[in-house]
Amino acid sequence: MMKPIVAVPADNRHFEGYDWHASPNQYISAAAEGAGVIPLIVPALDALIDVDAVLDRVDGVLITGSRTNVHPSLYGEKETPEHGPFDPARDTVSLALIHGAIERGLPLLAICRGIQELNVALGGTLATEIQTLPERMDHRKPVTEIADEAFAVRHPVQVKEGSCLAGIVGAGAVSVNSLHRQAISALAPRLTVEAVADDGTIEAVSVIDAKAFAVGVQWHPEYWFRTDQPSGAIFRAFGEAVRSRLSFAHRLKVSA
């Protein structure tokens, strides 16, 4: 059987005098090595990308984190400086990939910005600068140039008994590396909470009526997938779901 292909939405970046469609290596490496799939970066060309044509050719979708945030107009709020920075073309492509993956039963893993996009795509809202809210922790990335320090596992989340995530990493306390200043506010109707931080921040969700694996996490399992057992387990579970989907599609094609 062919190796499965997973769509990964690009971010728009400008450096060295060029506009780039790019994705951080952490996610690409985790997909290739940790999940055992071929990551295919989908350019963030807004409406110029035929997302249905992309989804016809892939076996899963990985929605990555990013330095940008979902534009607040997509969840009914006015733009403020605290909501930014933005990448509207990424929003368009990511939300379409999320909708398409869920409708088609393609396995979906959404990380950091990805879980926020998943919530917005399904009708939820986001809170910004959550460290300013009463009794909330500071989930923001530490000020350091050393990546291992920035992405260090630093606080626990409580994984709900009987959840999809509990079947992957176990129920109860799991230590994670959340790095965010926005988070889910109103939960989308089609999502269920899989894990919360001690301050009540929603840290993981799944799609209630999904036909396949469809999980979002607010932390960064891609960074320590080689050495951290829960991080590696999440990518392995995603990879297994993608291969299962490809195997099913192959059997349908052979029997047709």
Catalytic residues: 112, 220, 222
Nearest-angstrom CA–CA distance, 232 and 237: 9
| Spatial CA neighbour of 113 closest among 80, 91, 129, 131 | 91
In contact, 89 and 45? CB cutoff 8 Å:
yes
Is there a contact between 165 and 204 (Cβ–Cβ < 8 Å)? yes
4 near 245, Cβ under 8 Å? yes
- Strand intervals (E) in 116-252: 126-128, 155-159, 172-176, 182-184, 191-197, 202-207, 214-217
Q: At 168, list the tokens.
A: 């992957």
Cβ atoms of residues 6 and 242 within 8 Å: yes
The single-letter DSSP state of residue 212 is S
